Amino acid sequence: MSDAFSPPAHERQWAMFAHLSALVGGLLTSVVGGWGTFAGPLIIWLLKKDGMPFVDDQAKEALNFNITVALIALVMTGVFGFFTVITLGLGLIVVIPVVGAFVLAWLVLTIIAAIRANEGLAYRYPFALRLIK
């Protein structure tokens, strides 16, 4: 998105919802590992991609980021679970702060993206696999 392009208010709002829907999905599905984080961006992208170019871009960005986060969380679960077992639980001293920092980074980056989208600025997450193009 170029700086000269300013999307209409309703597109900015839907783009913001695409980012924030990951938080809602994460909270609702936290019992099963938070895999719902990419359901909201996916639904918004599928519904709005054809008629709203800014929403198309930002919903794909949110979707790619949350798929990346889910994959990293899956790997972390296995590695940290193994580490905790072989250290007889003492590994939790390392695991808990690392997981907390990871969740905090996801939360902060998602909020920043939502704010930028609401301002009409295309946000790019600092690390995300670009799986959906």
Q: What is the pLDDT, as a whole number, of residue 128?
A: 87
Rounded to two decimals, the pTM is 0.86
| pLDDT string in tens for the chain (133-residue length) | 444 578 999 999 999 999 999 988 887 776 655 667 888 899 999 999 999 999 999 999 999 999 999 889 889 889 989 988 999 889 889 989 999 999 999 999 999 999 999 999 999 999 888 888 8
Alpha-carbon distances of 48 from 57, 96, 98, 124, rounded to whole Å: 10, 38, 36, 19
| 128 and 65 Cβ atoms separated by less than 8 Å | yes
Give the other-Cβ count within 10 Å of 110's Cβ: 23
